[in-house]
Amino acid sequence: MEEKDKPNEEDDQEVNPWKVSAKDGGKIDYDKLIDKFGCQRLDQSLIERVKRLTGRPPHVFLRRGVFFAHRDFNEILDAYERGYKFYLYTGRGPSSESLHLGHLIPFMFTKYLQDAFKVPLVIQLTDDEKCMWKDLSVEESIRLARENAKDIIACGFDISKTFIFSDFNFMCPAFYKNIVRVAKCVTINKAVGIFGFTGEDHIGKISFPPVQAVPSFPSSFPHLFCHKDNLRCLIPCAIDQDPYFRMTRDVAPRIGHRKPSLIESSFFPALQGENGKMSASDPNSAIYVTDSAKDIRNKINKYAFSGGQDSIENHRKYGANLEVDIPIKYLGFFLEDDAELEHIRAEYGAGRMLTGEVKKRLIEVLTELVERHRVARAAVTDETVDAFMAIRSLPYMFD
Amino acid sequence: MEEKDKPNEEDDQEVNPWKVSAKDGGKIDYDKLIDKFGCQRLDQSLIERVKRLTGRPPHVFLRRGVFFAHRDFNEILDAYERGYKFYLYTGRGPSSESLHLGHLIPFMFTKYLQDAFKVPLVIQLTDDEKCMWKDLSVEESIRLARENAKDIIACGFDISKTFIFSDFNFMCPAFYKNIVRVAKCVTINKAVGIFGFTGEDHIGKISFPPVQAVPSFPSSFPHLFCHKDNLRCLIPCAIDQDPYFRMTRDVAPRIGHRKPSLIESSFFPALQGENGKMSASDPNSAIYVTDSAKDIRNKINKYAFSGGQDSIENHRKYGANLEVDIPIKYLGFFLEDDAELEHIRAEYGAGRMLTGEVKKRLIEVLTELVERHRVARAAVTDETVDAFMAIRSLPYMFD
């Protein structure tokens, strides 16, 4: 059965790979999004299964619902339980020099999945996409892809299990053959329906969705998977990428491939408040991995939207509104200690803790995270990047 | 200035890469086509220049107006005269197992150009196009491309100057980068205007025109041309391919490339009469390079449309109508002796020669041509094909 957007008369939010906006600048309604996209909620029983199958505590992003939706993730676990491995596929459009914390989330989570399930991983850098959408030159897009690869590698991926590639530099017959196979199954009308292209868009844009689709198929990487073309694929990504993979899943069985499974995250909120993704055009809307300790302190203190009350008296009396408070949201992503987080929420919500104290703790957590990233990235040389991008087999583990 | 179709109220013929049809099944009006497409007539002075610059008699197809139109061919000759070489680019969509005589025409002419100007040549086999338009599998398209390559090689190309490639098997970063560069310059509306795609066409089709465009740019073949990215390109082709190269010429200067030049042929008529191209679905509409001597005799005698009169008496009285006579047309393509052809035309036109005699001479000419091709093709092994397709430099002559 074809997966598609449900018609929705009161469709008051727009979520696609290029735009995330809620009604009246409010919050994204993720329940509605699950319903509209037709994906499944990632419920507690699945999280318990992950815990049991991997023998590890589930990642913070699972425990706290950052990754909240999926498509057929249960089938990946069913097969894994029967002894069948899978591979992970994630990616990034390298549109900017340095990454912000929101960019790190899928990679941090993917690293956890790789370690927990001991599976190979392909990471696609869609420099072609960014060249086409952002009007960057081919050379500049490739340069950004390599710079971003360093930040990605700094997340700690296992080189023996990880292949990183740029579309421009990897393009090859096996990949192109699958692109054509996918493209044959998608009409122009269909692509316009899914992605909202118009006649004024250039043909590069409407040519691109198959390029993001085909890493879902192991036959796109014959060198990598040694022709294990029946290997399952799990894609961790933010839910704005769902349209690409709805299309991919629709096409897959028609060209003799398995549908990839998905595990999808909500968006990391901007410092100014939770109304979509952060904006690259406003450096004060996000914490970047290149920010200094002083930058982080200033940004959090100055811009992080507070749910605290307007006076200390009122705050002591009414407590903070945790639903809109950005420091609490950020701690939910990055403070690993469940007990401490619960304590802060309780104290802050009851007005016994002030915004300044919560921000102070967040500044500590983020400064440590960013500093750890900085050190890891500094150790990534051009030779390391070449090694991750080398065309090779990932010769292990498929038994 | 942008090159495009002139609006034409009385546009009674359709010529594009997928359809050639004249009004009411009549003849294509090539003068109108030149005017509509905005290309130039290949006049006698250019043919004289070719003769002078190459020191050879111009090819039959030039002398007799088979190649009748061009775009900036004069610039190629200007530069050649100043000592600058160019390269040739032609191609074929491998949609059928064996070729007919009409398919050989661009290759016979291209071989003449290669020999006369001593220049390198790239031949693109658009197996991806045929996979998408004819709904062939990827594997079958590649197989047909290799089979067709044997017929092409049998035309006598110089392996030290000729690179043949299949899109599926050649696709590589340099090629893909130029595809994206071209695609960025063509809107969906523009592609629809040039090629007539509809919303029900799949996105593979609208993705394809840049693939046929980029062999016009030497940077698509860095291995071949050793980064001589300013090399001029001359494309010999049938005029139905003009839309691809109008688009290419429109885009080229915007991405830092020279516009390719073109030299364009009319269509080889079907046995049944001159109303467009031959049809692969009707084997009796064409002479195939695999036809036996007996096939050729039968087809010419039975199907070749005659301009002779309906009785010998009338024929002796009125003579043949050479304008519609297919044996005379075919002799015009393949009988090299100008004096003999003129003699036959005069005798036949005056009714002194009968259709049977003209057909007998045509059967001799075609049988010899096809037999020569058969022998040459039999000598082409899979190793020969591999050698022509090998990625290598063509290391000579650019000085």
Q: How far is CA B1 from CA A169, A201, B187, B232, in A?
A: 33, 21, 17, 20
Question: How far, in Å, CA of A163 to CA of A169, rounded?
Answer: 13
Residues of B in contact with A203 (CB under 8 A): 183, 186-188, 191, 206-207, 209-210
Query: Distance, in angstroms, between B137 CA and closest chain A CA?
Result: 9
Asked if B126 contacts B211 with a C-beta cutoff of 8 angstroms, the reply is yes
Residue A392 near residue A221 (C-beta atoms within 8 A): no
The shortest C-alpha distance from B234 to chain A (Å) reads 26
Question: Distance between CA B399 and CA B394 in Å, rounded?
Answer: 13
Residue B114: which of B45, B39, B56, B48 has the closest Cα? B56
| CB contact (8 A) between residue A203 and residue B207 | yes
Using a CB–CB cut-off of 8 Å, the residues of A that contact B are 128, 131-132, 135, 138, 167-173, 175-177, 180-181, 183-189, 191-192, 197-204, 206-207, 209-210
Q: Which residues of A touch B244 (CB under 8 A)?
A: none
Q: What count of CB pairs under 8 Å joins A to B?
A: 117
pLDDT above 80 (res B278): no
- Chain A closest CA to B330's CA: distance in Å? 39
The Cα–Cα gap between B199 and B187 comes to 14
Closest residue, chain A, to B185 (C-alpha): A202
Nearest CA in chain A to B191: A203
Return the closest-CA partner of residue B180 out of A295, A36, A126, A184.
A126
In tens, the pLDDT along B315-326 reads 999 999 999 999
Q: Residue B154 and residue B290: Cα distance in Å, rounded?
A: 13
pLDDT score at B24? 66
Q: Which of A132, A172, A203 sits opposite B206 (nearest CB)?
A: A203
Encoded amino acid at B310, one letter? D
**Among B178, B196, B315, B194, CA closest to B256:** B178
Q: How far is B254 from chain A (nearest CA, A)?
A: 12
Residue A132 with chain B: CB contacts under 8 Å = 180, 183-184
Q: Compute the nearest-CA separation of A327 from chain B (Å).
A: 42
- Distance (Å) from the alpha carbon of B152 to chain A's nearest alpha carbon: 23
- What CA dihedral angle connects B367, B373, B378 and B381, to 10 degrees? -170
Question: Would you call A176 and B171 a contact, using CB atoms and an 8 Å cutoff?
Answer: yes
The pLDDT, as a whole number, for residue B7 is 45
Cα–Cα distance for residue pair B102/B268, rounded to 1 Å? 5
Is A203–B180 a contact, with Cβ atoms under 8 angstroms apart?
no
Check A176 against B128: CB less than 8 A apart. Answer: yes
Which residues of chain A carry a pLDDT beneath 70?
Answer: 1-11, 23-25, 275-280, 395-399
A138, A187, A209 ranked by CB distance to B199: nearest? A187
Pairing of strands A67-71, A40-41: antiparallel
Contact A132 B183 (CB under 8 A): yes
Among B169, B183, B198, select the one facing A203 at the smallest CB separation: B183
| Chain A CB contacts of B132 below 8 Å | 180, 183-184
Distance CA A343, CA A363 (A): 17
pLDDT-based confidence at B332, cuts 50/70/90?
Answer: very high
Question: pLDDT tens, B293-314?
Answer: 999 999 999 999 999 999 999 9
Asked whether the predicted pLDDT for residue B230 surpasses 50, the reply is yes
Other C-beta atoms closer than 10 Å to the C-beta of A18 total: 12
By C-alpha distance, the chain A residue nearest B139 is A177
Q: What is the pLDDT of residues A249-292, one digit of tens each?
A: 999 999 999 999 999 999 999 999 876 456 667 888 999 999 99
Contact criterion met (CB < 8 Å) for B173 and A168: yes
Task: Report which of residues A24 and B117 the model is more confident about.
Answer: B117
Q: What pLDDT digit, counting tens, does each position of B183-218 carry? A: 999 999 999 999 999 999 999 999 999 999 999 999
Query: Does the reported pTM lie above 0.90?
Result: yes
Which residue's structure tokens are 């009319």?
Answer: B266
* CA-only gyration radius of chain B, Å: 21
Tell whether the model's pLDDT for residue B9 goes beyond 60.
no
Write the residue in B168, B186, B199 that is nearest to A203 by C-beta: B186
Mean pLDDT of chain B: 92
Q: Return the residue of A nearest to B188 by Cα.
A: A199
How many whole angstroms separate alpha carbon B308 and alpha carbon B321? Answer: 6
The CA-atom distances, in angstroms, between A65 and each of A47, A59, A101, A272, A330 are 10, 10, 17, 21, 13
Chain B interface disruption, residue of A126, A180, A187, most B CBs within 10 A: A180
Taking the CA of residue B124 and the nearest CA in chain A, the distance in Å comes to: 15
Q: Contact, B221 vs B87, CB < 8 A? A: no
How far is Cα B336 from Cα B341, in angstroms, rounded to an integer? 8
Contact of A167 with A128, CB cutoff 8 Å: yes
Q: How far is A242 from chain B (nearest CA, A)?
A: 19
Which residues does B contribute to its contact with A (CB < 8 Å)?
Answer: 128, 131-132, 135, 138, 167-173, 175-177, 180-181, 183-189, 191-192, 197-204, 206-207, 209-210
| CA–CA distance, A343 with A358 (Å, rounded to integer) | 11
Choose the closest CB to B180 out of A138, A191, A198: A138
How close is the nearest chain A Cα to the Cα of B207, in Å?
5
Tell me how long chain B is. Answer: 399
Q: How many CB atoms lie within 10 A of CB A192?
A: 17
Q: What is the mean pLDDT of residues B272-293?
A: 82
Helical (H) or strand (E) element with A344: helix A338-349
Residue of chain A whose Cα is closest to the Cα of B129: A180
DSSP secondary structure code for residue B276 in this structure:
S
Q: What would the two tokens of residue A294 be?
A: 């002083």
Question: Is A198–B181 a contact, with Cβ atoms under 8 angstroms apart?
Answer: no
Distance from CA of A218 to the nearest CA of B (A): 17
Inspect the interface and report whether the beta carbons of A187 and B209 lie closer than 8 Å: no
Please give the structure tokens belonging to residue B188. Answer: 């969906």
A184 and B210 within 8 Å at the Cβ level: the answer is: no
Contacts with B172 from chain A: Cβ below 8 Å: 171-172
Residue in B129, B131, B143, B177 to test binding to A, most A beta-carbons within 10 Å? B177
Which residues in chain A touch residue B189, judged by CB atoms under 8 angstroms apart?
A: 199-200
* Closest in A135, A177, A204 to B138, CB measured: A177
pLDDT (average), residues B83-88: 94
Q: Which residue of B has its CA nearest to A208?
A: B207
Q: List CB contacts (< 8 A) between B138 and chain A.
A: 177, 180-181
ipTM reported for the complex, 2 dp: 0.94
